[in-house]
Amino acid sequence: MELWDLKDPRDPSYSFVTVDPPRFGVCSNTDPLARRAIWNKASPSLADRVQVISQWLERCFREHPTCGVVQTTYPARLLDLGSDPVLPSVKLVRLDQIEEALSPIHYVALSHCWGLSTRPPYKTTRANYSDHTRHIPIAALSRTFQDAIRVTRALGIRFIWIDSLCIIQDDADDWAAEAVKMASVYQGSYFTIAATSSPDGDGGLFLDPPAPATLIYVEPDNGLLDVKGNSLHRCFIRHPVASPSVIWDAPLSQRAWVLQEQILSARLIHFTEHQMYYQCNSGLESEDGIVDTADLSSVRGRAFRHHGKQDLRTPVRAVGTWWSWVADYSSRSLSFHSDRMAAIAGILRYYQDATRQVPILGLWEGTLWYDLGWTVEHDGSHDIAHCRIPAK
């Protein structure tokens, strides 16, 4: 069970203790209900969810100075969704083909699971590249791709970046050139759509809404206390699927490639099994209204946080951040072991640029004495003979 203590509705943050299962979130509420923040109800409607996303983005750009778009290098290609929201197709465009009037170019990036190798996502190859520059039927794309296009269009954004479509998958030179830009792709996106709970392209973004929070009354002598030892008289019971842990335990968060997407995106919208979450440099907020600023102080929260370069120039904080990234990355899976170095290259380049450190086989020259103290917690494959390394 998780006990959540709502402290101040003007600055909502939550503390909790974990007890034995079953796990239900409990939000203490001893003041009159009219003066307290109440959970919203997540809606399955696209229009409602687009409105929530718009409000999140507007507030973030207005109130969060550390969450601005960091535009460095654009990807070579984007998907052009057109100006007509019901157009049945999209097309692949090179950046030099986009009119200068659209600069700076706002685009959304998609973070998703490719799924089983027997059902790979729709992708661009050398054989169909020419066709894709003219026409890609939306109906031929996976449910996740279609949903991402719908959301992007509904928000009035014309371009989206999807890895399997914007990188020529059977062109080794193109793959190497674009893989090294991953950090810039996600840093420079207006925001990132994360198909967090979908194990493959068939899952889509829009899943089931959670059950609403339930108000219960607690007898004063039942021994239920808040974290300060005060008796609880009025509580909200929240199903555990509404906990932020659904993000970290979801299929997308098990992929090694995705860690850099989660770390480097200044704004990330998680579509989980039952609701959306908005993650930015200032914290994590759920569709039903929970704001968790404390999450970024946790080990997992630090791993997911987009650290500003000024932040990483603090030596003690920088080395702790790097090893939290490495520990998280090492626990994730790869479809192709040869991608192990490429999938972390974006994070490595970002860290190197921020700290001015020199990398030495995954360690750093300035903290080598500390870095050499690493250990292996479990057995596994450590063969690096066939790792693909992206171009410089």
What CA dihedral angle connects 280, 285, 286 and 287, to 10 degrees?
-90
The confidence score (pLDDT) of residue 73 equals 78
Average pLDDT over residues 116-120: 61
Average pLDDT, the chain: 76
The confidence score (pLDDT) of residue 99 equals 66
Pick from 222, 162, 37, 188: which is nearest to 103 by CA? Answer: 188
- Say if residue 246's pLDDT is above 60: yes
Average pLDDT over residues 58-86: 85
- Say if residue 274's pLDDT is above 60: yes
**For 165-189, what is each residue's pLDDT tens digit?**
999 999 999 988 988 788 789 888 9
* Whether 175 contacts 102, CB under 8 Å: no
* Whether 79 contacts 91, CB under 8 Å: yes
- Say if residue 252's pLDDT is above 70: yes
Residue with tokens 């989980």: 272
The confidence score (pLDDT) of residue 18 equals 37
Confidence band, pLDDT 50/70/90 cuts, at residue 100: low
More confident residue, 121 or 120: 121
**For 212-240, what is each residue's pLDDT tens digit?**
554 444 444 444 445 555 655 555 555 55
**For 321-338, what is each residue's pLDDT tens digit?**
888 888 889 889 887 788
- Say if residue 26's pLDDT is above 50: no
- Say if residue 83's pLDDT is above 50: yes
The confidence score (pLDDT) of residue 209 equals 57
More confident residue, 325 or 77: 77
- Say if residue 12's pLDDT is above 50: no
- Say if residue 4's pLDDT is above 70: no
The confidence score (pLDDT) of residue 162 equals 96
The confidence score (pLDDT) of residue 144 equals 93
**For 40-57, what is each residue's pLDDT tens digit?**
556 667 888 899 999 999
- Say if residue 133's pLDDT is above 60: yes
Query: 30-44, 113-127, 363-377: lowest mean pLDDT where?
Result: 30-44
Confidence band, pLDDT 50/70/90 cuts, at residue 160: very high
**For 303-313, what is each residue's pLDDT tens digit?**
555 555 556 77
**For 277-294, what is each residue's pLDDT tens digit?**
998 877 788 887 766 654
Confidence band, pLDDT 50/70/90 cuts, at residue 242: low
What percentage of the chain exceeds 90 in pLDDT? 27
